Amino acid sequence: MTNLREYESKALDSKLRVGVIGGGQLARMMTIPAINLGLTIKVLSETHGSSASAATTMVGDYTNIEVVREFAKTVDLITFDHEHVPLAVLQALEAEGVSVQPPSKALAFAQNKLDMRARLSELGLPMPDWAEVSRTSELDAFIEAHGGVAILKTPIGGYDGKGVRVVRSSADALDWLADFTPLLVEEKVSFVRELAQLSARRPNGDFLAWPLVQTVQKDGVCAEVLAPAPGASSETLATAAQIAKSVAAGLEVTGVLAVEMFETADGRLLINELAMRPHNSGHFSIEGSVTSQFEQHLRAALDLPLGDTSLVSEHAVMINLLGVDDDNDFLPHYVNALAEHPAAKIHTYGKAARAGRKMGHITVVSDDANWALAEARGAAEILLNRQ
Ligand code: ADP
């Protein structure tokens, strides 16, 4: 034990500067635990005035190897706010000895949904039926074999439901078949709800999961998160954590991993999506858990001992503040929201208003789930001026 601790102390000594690629809200929320842990956090942002501007030390194009290499020289470790840095850029850094967490070999599976499905199939993990399709005949055959309807996905670059389409015939997807081949087609799961299992894994293999949560989507975007997932049996909780552990180990993920899942009427859990970074389904953990996903991501990336993932209260509810329209500004309603909902923890991301954009979130922690939900919704309605 002593030797391990000495090793970890040395590792920490030489890795105090964390570099985050991407200046979004995830980088912004990593900044605070980085400061608390005594780390130096530096962010490579795409634009000036990004959500993570307080920690931005460079503005540049993350697809340009020269830019990323220059940034990497100023830090001891690279991690991410998003999954879009080209693998070739990351592989070049790794070849030059830069510590990239999660490594490119893991991120490859988060960047390409077809590769992810293929790897999870090899690992024997539960998923919707799926296939790779390039031709109308292949797509039509899959649709016919799955009750006349399927979900078609572009393998690369989708987010918040963009790049996901319900199809009843290949005629619904001629544009995609022409533009992107191959495509991922999946059976349309008639799920009873969507769940997310948040976890973290260190390079040394240590793994810890948070309690399973329920995510509620509106128009393909996460709207609310309930922690823990209401009414989940101990068997479901254990199965979800085991699935995340198998994914994390099987794909050699380091840092935070979110596994989005469908729960079916007969209680099965099917993996939908993976994210290898802090995730919207884990924002509740800032106030709701002993260790937040942002702190844990840093600890895991640095190969340091992981923090306790227990809830500090019986329940936590997180609500996303999604922009209502382009003029929507929280500021005029801020004082009211603070005054009327003192238990609501309000997070803003410093973004210009735009309809549907994730502008911030609210978390309420309580032993009473219904009260927490009502408080969070009440504060959101005031801030978004919808009450
Ligand atoms: P994104 O990467 O854009 O978030 P997802 O793959 O998570 O895309 O899909 C977005 C949403 O579409 C999911 O949250 C779910 O509601 C729905 N969806 C995706 N795949 C399926 C499926 N196989 N069956 C039923 N619904 C699905």
Residue 352's pLDDT band (cuts 50, 70, 90): confident
pLDDT digits 0-9 by tens, 287-298: 999 999 999 999
Containing 48, the helix (H) or strand (E) segment is none
Closest atom, ligand 1, to C-alpha of 190: 25
Closest atom, ligand 1, to C-alpha of 162: 3
Output the CA 194–ligand 1 centroid distance in Å: 9
**Chain-wide mean pLDDT for the chain?**
94
Which residue's alpha carbon is at the smallest distance from atom 22 of ligand 1? 188
More confident residue, 277 or 356: 277
Query: What span, in angstroms and rounded, lies between the C-alpha atoms of 288 and 364?
Result: 8
Output the CA 202–ligand 1 centroid distance in Å: 28
Closest atom, ligand 1, to C-alpha of 159: 3
Q: What is the pLDDT of residue 98?
A: 96
Output the CA 186–ligand 1 centroid distance in Å: 10
Q: Any residues with Cβ below 6 Å from ligand 1, and which?
A: 128, 151, 153, 158-164, 186, 188-189, 194, 217, 220, 260, 272-273
Closest atom, ligand 1, to C-alpha of 270: 23
Mean per-residue pLDDT, 164-180: 92
Mean per-residue pLDDT, 93-97: 97
Check whether 354 has a pLDDT greater than 90.
no
Cβ neighbours for 372, distance < 8 A, ≥ 6 positions apart? 315, 316, 317, 364, 365, 366
Q: What is the pLDDT of residue 387?
A: 64
Going from the C-alpha of 30 to that of each of 26, 212, 267, 303, the distances in angstroms are 6, 22, 35, 16
Residue 330's pLDDT band (cuts 50, 70, 90): confident
